[in-house]
Structures are given as C-alpha cells and as structure tokens.
Amino acid sequence: MTDTTDSTGTDWRRVGLYAVLVLLVVFYLLPLWTGLMTSIKIDALSTAPFLPPAPSGFTAIHWTRAAHALAGGLVNSLILAIPGTILSALLGSMAAYGLTTLEWRYQIPVLVLFIAGIFIPYQAVLIPVSKFWAVYLPLGQYGAAVGIPKWLGDLTGLIITHVAYGIPICTLLFRTYYKDFSDEMVEAARLDGATTHRIYRRIILPLSVPMFAVTLIYQFTQIWNDLLFALVIVGPGKGAPVTVPLAQLGASLSDVGFGIRMAGAFVAALPTIIVYVLFGDQFAEGVST
C-alpha cells in the first residue's frame, strides 16, 4: 500500500476524504439553508438566496403569518396521521405474523396481493375512492343529524384510505423482519400451550419495536406529506390537512411570496422532524436488522 503521509505527518488521503464529506454536507444542506434565509428576508430577491439578510432586511413576519395560516391544518394532520400511522403499523404487523409464522392454505396468493397493493399508484384509485366515500363516508353522510361536523367525517375517510394504502408496505417490512426470528422460540411457546394470539402479544410484539419504529416513521411521513388524497377526499376547508393550506399559502399575495412559502414549508415539516428525532435510534436498529 502506498504511504500518503508526508514529512509533516499529514495523511493526505484522510484530508481528501474529509474534504469530500464536507462538500457532500454542504451540497445536501444548501437547499435547507437557502430556504431558511429566504424565510427571514423582507425581500427574498434583494440578495443571493443563500446569503443571510442584512440587519435592516431581517423579518420574522413570514413565520408568524405561516404559523397562523397553517395552525388548523397542523391540528387536522395530527388527527389524521397519528391514528393512521398506528393502525397501519399494527395491522401490518398482524398480517405479517399470519403470513410468516403460521401455515395455512392460500398463504402465497394472499401475500402476492399484498405485494401488488404496494405498486398501485394513488392516481389509479382517485376516482373510485372519491365515489366510494361520497356514498359511504362514515359520519359525513349521517353525522349532521347528530351534530357531528362533516369535516370530521371527511378526515375519517382519509384515515381509512391511508390505512388501507399503508398496510401492504407495512406487512412486507414486518414479514422481512419476522423471517429472521427463531422458529424454536415460537415452537417452544406452542409446546407450552400458548395460543396464536398469546404468542403474538407476549413474544412477537415486544420483539417488533425496532421495526415498528421504521414503519411508524415511514408511514407518518407518507400520510403527513400527502396532498392528492387530501384534495380529493377532503378538499380546501376547515378539515383540510396541512398540505392543502400549504399549497395555497401566498397564492393571494401580489408577489410570488417566497418568504412565507419557505416559512410555511419549515412549519409544516417540523412534526416529521420531531418524529425522526424521537425514533431515530430505533429506526436505525430496525433498518440494520
């Protein structure tokens, strides 16, 4: 191996490696930095996008206006994403348990259907989904008679839609994880008289925490960032998730509104960042297994 250390003791190979890593960090963080600088400028076009504003050009009004405009959407997205994420992960775990550790007829065809469900694009089901919920939407059709607001029924339909769309990918992730489990452990529990439900609750579920972190982060991000289903099922209005008012943010301004849109993007992204921070270690463990 060639010695890259000079007389001063400098390892130029390591220096080159660190230089490349620094360039990659700058490359990936520059868009975030540019968006942040744009969000705190009075005039986003007065200087280069990545340069910080002068003291006279600094403002926090964009953040204030964005937070005020998106407050209701953030609440609606939390009402949507939290139960949708938990149900998708839990049902996916149960389905994967049945498709991995249990032997039953037609197991492979059912697994093929789950895999096929992953590759169905949102656009292919927009019309059937919209027509279905227009007729059978829970709470939305009959809720007015008992005082339940229509937007809550719309969110219920959106939650069910995202759960149905999230189950296939969650099932596949959990099945890959469960295939590495020890068969002897499950068989020993069966010999001790444990039922299928008991094995899942007492053995499989506690060991699934790392993969639950993976599916929760993935599914929460997918549901939180969805705009297509939100527009079709809920649409603009009181019950709209945060992506709908975010898409409309700044549209009524006389200019393009770069500052408020950048601020709104950061405000809307904050919950997903918090989820990654809270479950990051478990996510890394689940991915590496």
The helix or strand, by DSSP H or E, that contains position 167, with its residue range, turns out to be helix 150-178
The angle that helices 61-100 and 150-178 make with each other, rounded to 10 degrees, is 50
Q: What is the mean pLDDT of residues 143-147?
A: 55
Identify the pLDDT of residue 145.
56
CA 158 to chain CA centroid, Å, is 15
Q: What is the mean pLDDT of residues 71-98?
A: 93
pLDDT bin (cut points 50, 70, 90) of residue 204 is confident
CB 275 within 8 A of CB 220: yes
Identify the pLDDT of residue 151.
61
Q: What is the mean pLDDT of residues 44-71?
A: 85
pLDDT bin (cut points 50, 70, 90) of residue 50 is confident
Coil, strand or helix: which one is 5? strand
- For the ranges 50-64, 68-82, 213-227, which has the lowest average pLDDT? 50-64
The residues, ordered by sequence, that sit 6+ positions from 250 with a Cβ below 8 Å of its Cβ are 256, 257, 258, 260, 261, 264
100, 228, 215, 206: which is closest to 163 by C-alpha?
215
CATH numbers and ranges of domains, the chain: 12-56 (no CATH), 61-288 (1.10.3720.10)
- Tens digit of each residue's pLDDT (9 = 90 or more) over 238-263: 788 999 999 888 665 455 678 889 99
Tell me if the pTM is above 0.95.
no
